[in-house]
Structure 1
Amino acid sequence: MPRPRKEARLRLRKDGDRKIWVIKDGSRYVRTGCFEEDVSGAEERFAEYLADKYEPPVSRSGADITGADVMLFYAKERVPKLANPSMEADFMTRLQLFWGAKALSEVKGSTCRAYAALRIAQGVKSATARRELETFRAAINFYVKEFTLPFRPTVELPAKSPPRERWLTRSEAARFIAAARARGNHHVARFILIGLYTGTRSNAIKTLQWTANTEGGWIDLEHGVFYRRGLEAIETNKRRPPVRIPERLLPHLRRWKRLDGIGKYVIHRDGKPMASLRKAWANSRKDAGLGIEVIPHTLRHTCATWGMQNGSEVWELAGYLGMSPKMLSDTYGHHHSDHQSGATRAISMRPGGR
């Protein structure tokens, strides 16, 4: 009796002096173009390979459709159009291990809680498990809408983590920048200054270039405008509107451009773009005497906090940061110079308005 054919899978194979990731599908070996250290790239190519092979089932029964069916269809039809396909592919790789063989009829509160508990036991944070389940929910909703199924499983999410409130004082920010420069981490110093004065998200800063391009944002020094996304980039819920460059940041940018000459990237090391600042960030942070709670997103919190403390109009600051006025007020409203000023005056007044 012949052995059953194994499903397609990733494996390492020698290629000269190095190892590369290939997809083994039966007797076929398909090259991914990714070396051993590029695991995420190999997983993304694998997801694309599976999506290209995939044909969705026509059944309208929740017992006949699996999580793998849903995620493969989502990976093929929707993920390539999202702002960060590689991140979604990574989430689905994790989801596939738990949900792939399960039917949609098994998606309910108890199994969602079991998935979250498993991921937390594996060492990830509750917020990460929540984000992965949000991707699974989006895949299910996309599938249900596409095939007009008569049911929609409910994906239960872990509770949201409380918002981070850590922000830097001006003296802390100055120490951080000085520490980065003292270590020779000038790319980190640039990153900090841009984050503090524009509140731009980490990925958008790392891909920033000196000229207009399709990969990421760019700096228009002539007109003093900071474009946060590439010419063909898809706008997402995490909005990245163009903004005027603050007066305190503009001289820094002009000086960096003179130093970089014909260089392409604003944040770079020896002209090469930075995929990660993790080690340099951690070392500079430690030298500055700051705790591990200070992460790149702290710069966005700091920008919003400084703006509110200085009495900025909520709608104007929200537009600058690319968030809704409600989110700004809910998260940072207590920092505003006028926060509850009317209430405190009323409480302090004596009867009769004195």
Structure 2
Amino acid sequence: MPVFYLAYKRKPWIVKYREPWTNKPRVKSFGKDEEEKARAFERAQADLYEREREIIRRAKRRRAAQAPAGITVDDLLQRYMDTLSNPSTRAANDYHLRLFLSIYGHRKAHCISMEDVAAFLELQAKRGVGKSTACRRVGIVRTAYTWAVRWGLLSVNPLAGLQLSSPTPQTPDPPTAREARMLFATAAPHLQRVIAIGMATGARIGPSELFRLRWTDVDTRVAVLRMPNASKGAPLEAREVPLRSDLLRMLRQWEKEDAALGCPWVIHYKGRPVRSISRAWHNTLRRAGISRRIRPYDLRHAFASRSLDHGAELKCVAEIMGHANEKMIVRFYRHTNPRARRKAINAAPSLGLDKNMDPD
């Protein structure tokens, strides 16, 4: 780390040094009469640099000692999964990685190649797996490999250059008011609650939010509930959601029923908490005579679209749904309806081209 003098500067004594953690160059200037101070600073920085670099070297040696020799793909992915704090994310990743691990899990992690990934994607396509789902699965593997290099489990990432296409998400239109009534009429009691609360509050349908809702979170006297926030970086554990009058009447009735059972959860099946409604949902679609694809999560989309269609403020809709970024609502949750599309078609005046056509 040199100390040198530049006479033309207001503070001519210059010390150049590097930060030990980032290795970025830094410069500090001292006045004309501060040569000794500059040299003392240079010595202190040199000493600090060596001590901190030794800490870094020790950490690398510990990581190398902890990393098993010739780590397998299964070991690497399991270690990565252990770092995920959200149980829902871990469960989803575990599901998506099953086939990849069954094929490549026994292989040495550093031996996986781009050709292996291409073969896996081809296999997924032949099994009828959607392109979006297949890319998501490979994306999890790529993220795990990046993490492994960062933490010293691998010296080189064999998937560093992997590029995945971003297929257009195939999000179905949310249920219309008529479809929601058809579903509600044929649904089991616990699913009726999911439909009503999902359409009226925009809650995330699943264990991240709605299935965690307890009666202690619902205040029917002041018509408000505290919806648990999903683990997506929200600053608060829950958000306050006002209750509309039609939902409030149903909640008061359900609250009485559950008080007699001693059940603390708003969404439950015969007094037991609910983790998944996939089978019940598909059975309800079939009984309702709805053949098109509708997901439980589309109830959340329906809330956003219907609210905005009827003049709700975008910021309020975002806050109710637990989104800090209003653009997310417009980009992912806002759906148009046939009436709005017809209005858009007829918004511009006619060009009068039909006047030159012969009448039938």
Normalising TM by the smaller chain, what interval?
Answer: 0.5 to 0.7
| CA distance, structure 1, for counterparts of residue 222 and residue 150 of structure 2 | 45
2:121 aligned partner, one-letter code: A
| CA distance, structure 1, for counterparts of residue 286 and residue 257 of structure 2 | 28
Matched, 1:242 2:245: no
Change (3 A) 1:243 1:156: farther
Q: CA deviation at 1:172?
A: 1.8
Per the alignment, residue 56 of structure 1 pairs with: 67
| CA distance, structure 1, for counterparts of residue 196 and residue 238 of structure 2 | 19
Matched, 1:257 2:265: no
Q: CA deviation at 1:292?
A: 4.5
List aligned pairs for 1:154-169, cutoff 5 A.
154-169=161-176
Matched, 1:321 2:321: yes
Q: CA deviation at 1:111?
A: 3.0
| CA distance, structure 1, for counterparts of residue 333 and residue 84 of structure 2 | 33
Contact 2:76/2:109, CA 8 A, preserved across alignment? no
Decide which of 76, 96, 101 is 1:70's aligned counterpart. 76
3-state SS in 1 of match to 2:225: strand
Structure 1, unaligned stretches of length 5 or more? Answer: 1-53, 59-63, 212-217
| CA distance, structure 2, for counterparts of residue 156 and residue 97 of structure 1 | 23
Q: CA deviation at 1:301?
A: 1.7
List aligned pairs for 1:162-177, cutoff 5 A.
162-177=169-184
Matched, 1:119 2:127: no
| CA distance, structure 1, for counterparts of residue 316 and residue 126 of structure 2 | 43
Number of matched residues? 276
Change (3 A) 1:72 1:186: closer
3-state SS in 2 of match to 1:147: coil
3-state SS in 2 of match to 1:228: strand
TM-score by length of 1: 0.65
Contact 1:56/1:73, CA 8 A, preserved across alignment? no
Change (3 A) 1:344 1:322: farther
Matched, 1:200 2:203: yes
Change (3 A) 1:67 1:176: same
Change (3 A) 1:165 1:102: same
Per the alignment, residue 280 of structure 1 pairs with: 280
3-state SS in 2 of match to 1:178: helix
What is the Cα-based RMSD across aligned positions, in Å? 3.6
CA deviation map 1:170-198 (0-9, x unaligned): 12211221222xxxx11111111111112
| CA distance, structure 2, for counterparts of residue 55 and residue 91 of structure 1 | 27
Contact 1:176/1:288, CA 8 A, preserved across alignment? yes
3-state SS in 2 of match to 1:335: coil
Per the alignment, residue 228 of structure 1 pairs with: 227
CA deviation map 1:240-259 (0-9, x unaligned): 85131331322211211011
Q: CA deviation at 1:344?
A: 8.8
Contact 1:311/1:338, CA 8 A, preserved across alignment? no
Comparing 306-315 and 99-108, the one that deviates more: 99-108
1:138 aligned partner, one-letter code: T
Q: CA deviation at 1:70?
A: 2.2
List aligned pairs for 1:5-16, cutoff 5 A.
none
| CA distance, structure 2, for counterparts of residue 155 and residue 99 of structure 1 | 17
TM-score by length of 2: 0.64
List aligned pairs for 1:117-196, cutoff 5 A.
117-147=122-152, 151-152=156-157, 153-180=160-187, 185-196=188-199
Contact 1:187/1:268, CA 8 A, preserved across alignment? yes
| CA distance, structure 2, for counterparts of residue 343 and residue 161 of structure 1 | 25
Find the structure with the greater CA-based Rg. Answer: 2
| CA distance, structure 1, for counterparts of residue 93 and residue 175 of structure 2 | 31
CA deviation map 1:22-78 (0-9, x unaligned): xxxxxxxxxxxxxxxxxxxxxxxxxxxxxxxx95247xxxxx5543342132133x0
Per the alignment, residue 19 of structure 2 pairs with: none
| CA distance, structure 2, for counterparts of residue 114 and residue 201 of structure 1 | 35
Change (3 A) 1:98 1:80: farther
3-state SS in 2 of match to 1:202: coil
Matched, 1:106 2:117: no
Change (3 A) 1:114 1:319: farther
Comparing 84-93 and 170-179, the one that deviates more: 84-93
Change (3 A) 1:275 1:143: same
| CA distance, structure 1, for counterparts of residue 171 and residue 320 of structure 2 | 20
Q: CA deviation at 1:293?
A: 0.3
